Chains A and B, each alone.
Chain A
Amino acid sequence: MKKLSELKKRGVATIKNVKGPEMLRLLEMGLIPGAKIEVVRAAPLGFPIEVKIRGYSLSLRKAEADCIEIE
Chain B
Amino acid sequence: MDREKTIALVGNPNTGKSTLFNALTGLKQKIANYPGVTVEKKIGYAAIGSKKFRIADLPGTYSLNPKQIDERITYDVLAGKYKHEPAPDLVIVMADASNLDRNLYLVSQIMDLEIPMIVALSMIDVAEDRGIRVNAEDMSKKLGVPVIPIISKESGDIQKLRDYISSNAVSAPEALRWNPGEPLRKAVQIVINDWIKPHTNLSERIWTTEALRFIGDDQAINMVPEIEKQHKLREVVQKACTVLEDSGKNYTAEEVLKRYEFIESCTAGAVSKSSDNMVTLSDRIDEYVTHKVFGPIIFGLILLLMFQSVFSWAEPFMNLIDLFFIGMGNWVSGTLPPGILNDLLVEGVLAGLGGVVIFLPQIMFLFLFISILEGSGYMARAAFVMDGFMTRIGLHGRSVVPLMSGFACAIPGIMAARTIENWRDRIITIMILPFMACSARLPVYALMIAAFIPGTSFLGIFSLQGITFFGLYIFGIVMAILAALVMKQFIKTDTPSPFIMELPGYKMPKWSGVFQNVFDRGKVFVTEAGKIIFGISIVLWFLASFPKTDLPANFTEERTTQNIEAPSAQNEQMAASYKLRQSYAGQFGQLIEPVIKPLGFDWKIGIGLITSFAAREVMVGTLNTIYSVQDQENAISLQKKLQRDVDSETGEPVYSVWTALSLMVFFALAMQCMSTIAIVKRETNSWKWPAIMFTYMTTLAYICSLLVYQLGTSFG
Task: State the A residues within 8 Å of B (CB).
Answer: 18, 21-30, 32-33, 36, 40-48, 50, 54-61, 63-64
Contacts and interface: CB of A to CB of B under 8 A. Distances in A.
Given A55-B99, A60-B500, A44 B62 contact: no
A43 B132 CA distance: 29
A40 B291 CA distance: 11
A59 B388 contact: no
B496 interface: yes
B65 interface: yes
A28 B253 contact: no
A57 B253 contact: no
Contacts of B495: 21
A22, A29, A33, A59: which has the most chain B beta carbons within 10 Å?
Answer: A59
B132, B296, B385, B500: which has the most chain A beta carbons within 10 Å?
Answer: B500
A24 B504 CA distance: 21
Contact of B65 (A24, A26, A43): A24
Contacts of A44: 292-293, 295-296, 385, 388-389
Given A29-B102, A43-B295, A44-B292, A57 B503 contact: yes
A26 to B, nearest CB: 7
B498 A59 contact: no
A24 B292 contact: no
Contact of A47 (B296, B380, B388, B504): B388
Contacts of B383: 59
Contacts of B256: 24, 27-28, 32
A70 to B, nearest CB: 16
Interface in B429-466: none
B245 interface: no
A29 B62 contact: yes
A58 B256 CA distance: 18
A28, A32, A36, A46: which has the most chain B beta carbons within 10 Å?
Answer: A28
A46 B495 CA distance: 21
A45 B286 CA distance: 16
B384 A59 contact: yes
Given A28-B63, A59-B503, A48 B387 contact: yes
B98 interface: yes
Contacts of B505: 57
B500 A58 contact: yes
Given A28-B105, A32-B256, A41-B290, A61 B502 contact: no
Given A32-B256, A54-B99, A61-B499, A43 B385 contact: yes
B63 A58 contact: no
Contacts of B132: 55
Contacts of B253: 18, 23, 27, 32
A36 B252 CA distance: 21
B260 interface: yes
B144 interface: no
Contacts of B392: 45
Main secondary structure of the interface of A (DSSP, over half): mixed
B101, B217, B276, B383: which has the most chain A beta carbons within 10 Å?
Answer: B101
Contacts of B128: none
Contacts of B504: 56-57
Interface in B281-315: 282-283, 286, 290-293, 295-296
23 contacts: A24-B216, A24-B252, A28-B63, A30-B102, A40-B283, A41-B286, A41-B290, A43-B292, A43-B387, A44-B292, A44-B293, A44-B295, A44-B389, A45-B389, A50-B286, A50-B290, A50-B384, A54-B99, A55-B99, A61-B391, A61-B496, A61-B499, A64-B499
A40 B98 CA distance: 18
Contacts, number: 121
Nearest to B287: A41
A61 B105 CA distance: 23
B257 A64 contact: no
A25 B501 contact: no
B101 A58 contact: no
Interface in B199-218: 216-217
Contact of B217 (A24, A40, A43): A24
Nearest to B250: A23
A19 to B, nearest CB: 9
B498 A64 contact: yes
B397 interface: yes
B286 A22 contact: no
Interface in B349-395: 380, 383-385, 387-389, 391-392
A13 to B, nearest CB: 14
B239 interface: no
Nearest to B259: A28
B17 to A, nearest CB: 17
B230 to A, nearest CB: 19
B132, B256, B296: which has the most chain A beta carbons within 10 Å?
Answer: B256
B130 interface: yes
B388 A26 contact: no
Contacts of B257: 27, 32-33
B231 interface: no
Contacts of A64: 498-500
B261 to A, nearest CB: 9
A7 to B, nearest CB: 16
Nearest to A63: B496
B99 A22 contact: no
Nearest to A20: B498
Nearest to B127: A55
A18, A45, A60, A63: which has the most chain B beta carbons within 10 Å?
Answer: A45
A46 B388 CA distance: 8
Contacts of A60: 499-500
Contacts of A27: 252-253, 256-257
